[in-house]
Structure 1
Amino acid sequence: MKSILMAFVLVSAGAASVAGVSFGVPDELVKGLSRLGTGAQKQSRVELAQAQQSGQGAQQTQTQDAEAGQRGPVVDESALRYFAARGDTARLNAEIARLRALYPTWTPPENPLAVPVNEDRQLEEMWALYSQSRFADVRAAIARRQQEDPQWIPPADLVERLEVAEKRAALVAASNAGRNEEVVRIGAETPSLLTCSDADVLWRVAEAFAKIDRLQRAKDAYGYMLDNCSDAPIRVATVQKASTVLGYADMQDLLARERTGADGVKEFDGIRSDLARRFVGEGDGDPAITVAPAYLKIVEKLVADEGLASDALLLGWYYLRRDQNAAAEPFFRKARATEDSASASQGLALILLARKMPAEAEEVMYAWRTSSDQAMQTYLAATANLLALDPLPKLDPKVLNRIAQVTLEEKSPETGEQFGWYALAMNQPRTAEEWFSEVLKWKTDYEPAAYGLGVARLRLEDRAGLAAVKQAWGGRSQRIARLGEEDTSGEAAPARRDGAERAVRSERRVPARERTVEERARTVEEGAAGPQRAVRAARREGAVNCRTTTRDPGGLSPVSALSLGWCLMEINRPMEAARAFEAALAGGGRVSSDAAYGQSLAYLRAGLTSEAAVAATKAKLDRSRGAELQAAILADRAVSSFRAQRYRETLVFLDQRSQFRAEPADLMVMRAYAYKNLGMRMDAQRLFEALGETGRQDAIRALAEMRTERNARR
């Protein structure tokens, strides 16, 4: 059997037996236990207590041992009678399991009530305190008894059970406090805790392994329970708990242990729908996951039978992430028809944009543009693409005015630039000049707007204005430096107009810079500075200067295209950088890896989280880069889900993210609010309290709000 966590005790052979099953001891646990002074030569407290109770000479002991060998092991069964007399079935079964583990040849009495009555009233009181989990009081009672009667020795069974109970309490406390290494250590020291009769302890240990990035050990722990525990509710709960910490592939291994009843019903059928939802949701966040068709069909049936918009959205996003727009579109439309939302509208808008239907995308997103940063970026992507259509679209003045208002409010360089070209195409150079000038106020290093400004002034025959643009930008942009140079004849003005017309037509054929769904919350992700450092550090040989000239990456070598990509990232032109990195992917080896990493960063900066996830799969990344990107992508997903009020989905993404990076305070605040909105008020309060102790004002305010709400309900 696999070497898994449940092998928590050191004996001379290096393995332990629990309920008849042997487990190997992980090397790291061996080292930890050795440091704690637990070794093969250490005599157990039970053996010491039994030796003290005997009080006889060596010869008498040998005689008793011989007799015991003939009769079987001497087992203290007083606890059995105590729990049976009080009708405590759970503790009775746990005690039987414990004694069987300690004494494999022992047979439980058919009637525990027939076990001789303990005439020791003080000892009975100690057992009563133990049954109430008042372990400190048991210790105090033992100490008083020994003080009164120095010859009295507490029963070995009581001592052992008391120690195990205290260990269990310590393990639960460590688990509740998030001290996961301590949970694993205590479990290793106390193998008698790790039985199916106390599933909660096994669940806590498995979860602790997951939280210290030991997912294989966590999977083994859950697998042990499915292999050895027979209680149906425990088995179902084990799968449910495992699904919150393990990924799709690991869960398939666990589900392979499913049992089929005599009636042909599979034991996990009752939670199959929830599992399918979770798996498809995980596929939404990771395009590399291919969810089995059976799960997709389950969710499709849920959409048909229950008609929930949330189920339709799961499928819509799953198919959209995989560029299966035709499959995704009906589900987004179904979701909008059932319960219109920003998420449903964003998904449909992206499909409409891919189909070159920006007018419809603008119409879909306008009502939702202010619901989140992602929604606004999706709307602006639609507006920029709409204004860039060729041939020129004839827009309703109402639509044109609302696009202009939003562009000015949001200070969107991309849409503002397209307004400039739109005005030039409508033969309104003065309006175009105003738009390009405004864009340069919003983004002073935005070369396309500077070029447009030069073209507008060329059209207006503003020689001084054009000269000013060329003087400011000529050293950074070759096309601006050459603007108007074709004017060599005497008919200067017509030539300038022709040059400007060609520039307008050429520029309008350039696809608008699309900023689509998943604009990441910059203040949330602690890694925002990391990619900036990576941009500066990653430029290598084949350096290309993108500040003074505009280059087509298709004509460059992969190394030069890679350098161009980093250069464009430095001057904050991520979409152009993404195209350069795409060209660099052909380089192979380290160049391809750097290109995939750079393209992911470029898409993240542009707000294209799904594209960033796809880019990360185009070449093999080292572990640290992969973890960085996954953490950023999952943070975006969590923020998006939270803003869409999908709080359970928010927690799933946050839990997945925590496997790659520690959770920063901002995301912890969001987690606490998700708990609160799901009715998990105690979990929310504990997290807000912990954050409040660090001085976070938002957490302190949240605590005050919760107290006010609690008082109002009284």
Structure 2
Amino acid sequence: MLRNGDYFASAPAIPGAAQSGVADNQASEGSEKQVTVAQDSPPGKPPTVTPAQSQRVDETALRYFASKGDTKRLNAEIARLKALYPDWTPPENPLAARQQGDPQLDQMWKLYSEGKFAEVRKAIADRQTAQSGWQAPADLLDRLAVAEARAQLVNAADLKQYDAVIRIGSANSSLLTCGDVDVLWRVAEAFARTKREGRARDAYLYILKNCKEPGERVATVQKALPLLSRQSLDQLLATEQKTPDGQGEFAALRGDIARQSLGDADSDPKLVVPEADLAAVEALANHGGRASDDLLLGWYHVRRDNPQVAETWFRKAREKENTAKASQGLALALINQNRPAEAEDILYQWRNADDDVRKVYLAAVANLLSITPPPSIDANVLQRVVQEVYAAKDAASAQQLGWYADALNQPQTASQWFKLALDWKPDDESSAYGLALTRWKIGDKTGVREIQTAWAGRSERIPTVGERSVETAAVGKGMTEQTPKRAKENQPGHRDAGTQNYTIQRSGTGGRTGQQTHGCPNTMDPASLSPQAALSRGWCLMQANRPIEAAAAFDVALHGTGKTRADAAYGQSLAYLRAGLSDYAAASASMAPLDPERSMEIRTALLESQASTAFDQGRYVETIMALDERATIAPERTGLMVLRGYAYLKLRRFADAEQVFRAAANTGSRDALKGLNDVKVTRQEKIQ
């Protein structure tokens, strides 16, 4: 036996039947009033009330659901009848007064309860055809029409046809009852999605003021959370009721609302978040253990120029769950604190997670390279930075690599990076200026003129390259002219010649103009000599294979003018190359203009040195770049072909490595033959 209490629904239908209900009827949003009701109908009641005493209530469906033990549908039917007939009292026992059985009608109700509405329509039509004058109960027809309307409304909502949802709800107010809160939710969402927040708020408020099921009330606020403004949400929260244990029924939701508040602030840096919301999320982060809460706080603070606080929260998030987004946020916080090296290191493993993460990684790289004076970067880090910039074709980072190399007195490398940056972004004036400047430093006057012609009328500083000193031309990068004799420990990027496994030895560099052929005194301070005498001593020391002493003599000769100064710059470059100090050699070559033959000789030697140095330090992409540039001005010797082959092998470009080694092996090079075997072995290791 079903108890009487099981028959009652929790509230009447939304006021205003077909005329209005919760539906909009295309009314203006401006009034923002309570859910619209019919003029002759008080709130909470249908527009037209027919007392149960004056009209018999059709309880057929009620008794059918009771007979099947379908309590859910039974309660929904009771709610519907009470909404239509407020004076009606549900029978204590719906099964007590059973009418004469009608198997066909029972089958129709069965089909209806199963949601087979088209089959119900067919069964009605078939019986009317077979039994002249038979009419289906009005209640069945009404309920069938309502059920079909509900199906249409749900389908429209699923298809995001929100105007149709509102229209169907307006025409079928009997759908809008606490017995079917899902329909009310769909109508409320339709209002919100069509920019009628006031109507949406009123629909949610109607549920909270009239429907009593605790789970549905909490779900109502949850559904409103992503759709309504904070002001509207506060109105919903004001309807909160106490649970039996004295807690607010929406207590668990207030944390989600605070989270949403911070989430909204992430996309709008000007949005002011209430202190209560900030404190709530901090409490959740500290006690709930969710990395997402730490991330919310981190992004909130990084967007508001609080990088130190943001760093704390991002680190907590990474401790709980090391993700790309947590690392991205931490990297941003570190960049904003001028700590790009840490940012690059943290984000490297996530650099390919998505485009946003990659942009932050490259920003860290660019900021790292732009530090003045240039920092000492670990060879492995520099190698991976070079590879990533090259792979991404990022002009900004390539330009910074150019300035970084230039600051370390490596104009050849700098020139390559400026050229790449300009290839990737042809309208970048800064890269064009850097390319012109570094070409001037290496004596490539033709290259400088090409840049100046291309940028004529578009840059004020590019036309002046070559007309002023290195010190003047490099203003803005923190570079000042320094003679190569400065202490090695103060020269960024210098390499100790005593630890290198190679030196640059070039034949034919002895009998130059001004060279002294007789023996040189063992000790002498060249500072006491005139520029011309110091030049002669420098050539003498070069013949004696004493390059460091020769460099000091050439340094004195650089104080001369005209041809003496040009010869001194050339001689000092050769001296440093022979000592394995290519950085110093590059700086010396920029001290005075060299004739084309000498300029080409020094440039070729510097590129060889640069390629070897890059390989020794594991910078294999840079090795190939240097060899490629050298190949444009001089044939590639067998030894350099072998070096290129091993660079390809280190980059696991097996086909390229094999091709280069095979070409070198044809000259009889044993090193090339060994390289071919190394390619074979490495390939087998990869397969295994």
| 2:470 maps to 1:497 | yes
Q: Is 1:168 matched up with 2:150?
A: yes
Residue 45 of structure 1 is matched in structure 2 by: none
Question: Which one-letter code corresponds to 1:500 in the other structure?
Answer: A
Contact 1:223 1:254 in 2 (8 A): yes
What's the CA shift string for 1:420-440, capped at 9, x where partnerless?
Answer: 222222222222222212221
Q: Is the 8 A contact 1:458 1:500 kept in 2?
A: no
| 2:95 paired residue number | 113
Q: Tell me the secondary structure at the aligned position of residue 470 of structure 2.
A: helix
- SS of structure 2 residue aligned to 1:502: coil
- 2:138 maps to 156
- Structure 1 residue ranges without an equivalent (≥5): 17-22, 31-38, 41-67, 488-494, 508-714
Q: Normalized against structure 1, the TM-score is what?
A: 0.58
Deviations 1:571-618 (A, max 9, x none): xxxxxxxxxxxxxxxxxxxxxxxxxxxxxxxxxxxxxxxxxxxxxxxx
Q: What's the CA shift for 1:9? A: 4.0
Structure-1 residue corresponding to 2:385:
403
Q: How does 1:617-696 map to 2 (within 5 A)?
A: none
Q: Does the C-alpha gap of structure 1 residues 336 and 119 become closer, same or farther in structure 2, counting only changes over 3 Å?
A: closer
Residue matched to 1:86: 68
Deviation by residue 1:252-273 (Cα, 9 ceiling, x = unmatched): 3322222223532111224444
Cα 1:25–1:334 shift into 2, 3 Å: closer
Q: For residues 27 and 373 of structure 1, do their structure 2 counterparts lie closer, same or farther at Cα, with a shift above 3 Å needed?
A: closer
SS at match of 1:367: helix
Provide closer, same or farther for how the CA distance between residues 325 and 81 of structure 1 changes in structure 2, counting only shifts above 3 A. same
Partner of 2:168: 186
Aligned to 2:272: 290
Letter in 1 for 2:248: K
- 383-392 or 496-505, which deviates more: 496-505
Q: CA offsets, 1:160-179, max 9 Å, x none? A: 11211121122222323333
Q: Are residues 417 and 25 of structure 1, via their aligned partners in 2, closer, same or farther at CA, if it must alter by over 3 Å?
A: closer
Is the Cα contact below 8 Å between 1:260 and 1:266 reproduced in 2?
yes
Q: Which residue of 1 aligns with 2:243?
A: 261
Find out whether 1:392 has 2:371 as its counterpart. Answer: no
Residue 243 of structure 1 is aligned with which of 225, 231, 237?
225
Structure 1 residue 240: Cα displacement: 1.8
CA contact (8 A) 2:178 2:207 kept: yes
Counterpart CA distance in 1 for 2:449 and 2:476 is 17
Aligned to 2:91, the other structure's residue is in SS state coil
Moved more, 458-467 or 156-165: 458-467
Report if aligned partners of 1:7, 1:188 keep a CA contact under 8 Å in 2: no
Question: What is the DSSP-based 3-state SS (H/G/I as helix, E as strand, rest coil) of the residue aligned with 1:114?
Answer: coil
Assess if the C-alpha contact under 8 Å between 2:51 and 2:88 holds in 1.
Answer: no
Q: 1:81 to 1:442 in 2, by over 3 A?
A: same
Q: 1:477 to 1:506 in 2, by over 3 A?
A: farther
Q: What are the superposed Cα offsets for residues 107-164 of structure 1, whole Å, 9 maximum, x if unpaired?
A: 3333333344244443333223322222223222222332233333322222211211
- Cα deviation, residue 301, structure 1: 2.8
- Secondary structure at the counterpart of residue 364 of structure 1: helix
Q: Give the conservation status (yes or no) of the 8 Å contact 2:25–2:170.
A: no
User: Is 1:123 aligned with 2:122?
Assistant: no
Amino acid at match of 2:110: A
1:336 aligns with 2:292: no
Which of these two proteins has the greater Rg computed from alpha carbons? 2
Of 169, 177, 180, which aligns to 1:195? Answer: 177
User: Could you tell me how far 1:274 is from its partner in structure 2?
Assistant: 4.0
The answer as to whether partners of 1:8 and 1:189 remain within 8 angstroms in 2 is no
Deviations 1:407-460 (A, max 9, x none): 222222112111222222222222222221222122222111001112223333
TM-score where L is the length of structure 2: 0.60
Runs of 4+ displaced beyond 6 Å: none
CA distances 1:324-352 after superposition (whole Å, capped 9, x unpaired): 22322211111222222221221111111
Query: What is the CA distance between 1:196 and its match in structure 2?
Result: 0.6
Measure, in 2, the Cα distance between the counterparts of 1:69 and 1:451.
Answer: 91
1:371 partner amino acid: A
Greater helix content: 1
Alpha-carbon distance between aligned partners in 2 of 1:384 and 1:123, rounded to the nearest angstrom: 79
How many angstroms apart in 2 are the aligned matches of 1:379 and 1:314? 21
| Alpha-carbon distance change, 418 to 254 in structure 1, aligned in 2, over 3 angstroms | same
Matched length: 450
For 1:391 and 1:70, the matched residues in 2 are separated by 92
Q: Which amino acid aligns with 1:303?
A: A
The 3 A distance-change label for structure 1 pair 92 and 275 is same
Please say if residues 361 and 382 of structure 1, whose CA atoms lie closer than 8 Å, have aligned partners that are also in contact: yes
Is residue 25–residue 167 contact of structure 2 (8 Å, CA) maintained in 1?
no
Could you tell me the percent identity over the aligned residues?
Answer: 48
2:664 corresponding residue in structure 1: none
Of the three residues 267, 291, 298, the one matched with 1:309 is 291
Per the TM alignment, residue 249 of structure 1 is displaced from its structure 2 partner at its CA by 4.2
Residues of 2 paired with 1:131 and 1:234: CA distance?
23
User: Aligned to 1:353, which of 332, 335, 349?
Assistant: 335
Within 5 Å, which residues of 2 pair with 1:590-629?
Answer: none
- Paired residue secondary structure (1:112): coil
**Post-superposition CA distance 1:507-551 (Å, at most 9, x none):** 9xxxxxxxxxxxxxxxxxxxxxxxxxxxxxxxxxxxxxxxxxxxx
Distance 2:134 2:430 in 1: 92
Q: 1:503 to 1:145 in 2, by over 3 A?
A: closer
Change in 2 beyond 3 A, CA 1:190/1:376: same
Q: Measured at CA, do residues 118 and 293 of structure 1 come closer, stay the same or move farther in structure 2, by a change above 3 Å?
A: farther
Task: Give the Cα separation in 2 of the matches to 1:394 and 1:498.
Answer: 22
In the alignment, the residues of structure 1 paired with residue 177 and residue 51 of structure 2 have an alpha-carbon distance, to the nearest angstrom, of 28
Report the CA distance between 1:197 and its aligned residue: 0.3
Matched, 1:447 2:429: yes
2:23–2:166: 8 Å Cα contact kept in structure 1? Answer: no
Deviation at 1:359, TM superposition (A): 1.7
1:596 corresponds to which residue? none
- Indicate whether 1:299 and 2:281 are aligned: yes
Distance, in Å, in 2 between the alignment partners of 1:132 and 1:462 is 87
Distance in 1 between residues matched to 2:52 and 2:188, nearest whole Å:
41
Looking at structure 2, the residues matched to 235 and 502 of structure 1 have their Cα atoms a distance apart, in angstroms, of: 68
How large is the Cα RMSD of the aligned pairs?
3.0
Q: 1:70 & 1:374 partners in 2: Cα distance?
A: 66
**2:609 — aligned with what?**
none
Structure 1 residue 461, shift from structure 2 partner: 4.2
* Post-superposition CA distance 1:274-324 (Å, at most 9, x none): 444444333333334434333333332333234332221121112222222
Code of the residue aligned with 2:338 in structure 1: it is K
- Distance in 1, matches of 2:175 and 2:314, equals 49
Correspondence for 2:25:
26
Cα deviation for residue 478 of structure 1 reads 1.9
Which amino acid letter does the alignment assign opposite residue 25 of structure 2? P
Shift of 1:381: 1.0
Structure 2 gaps of 5+ residues are 1-12, 30-37, 40-49, 481-688
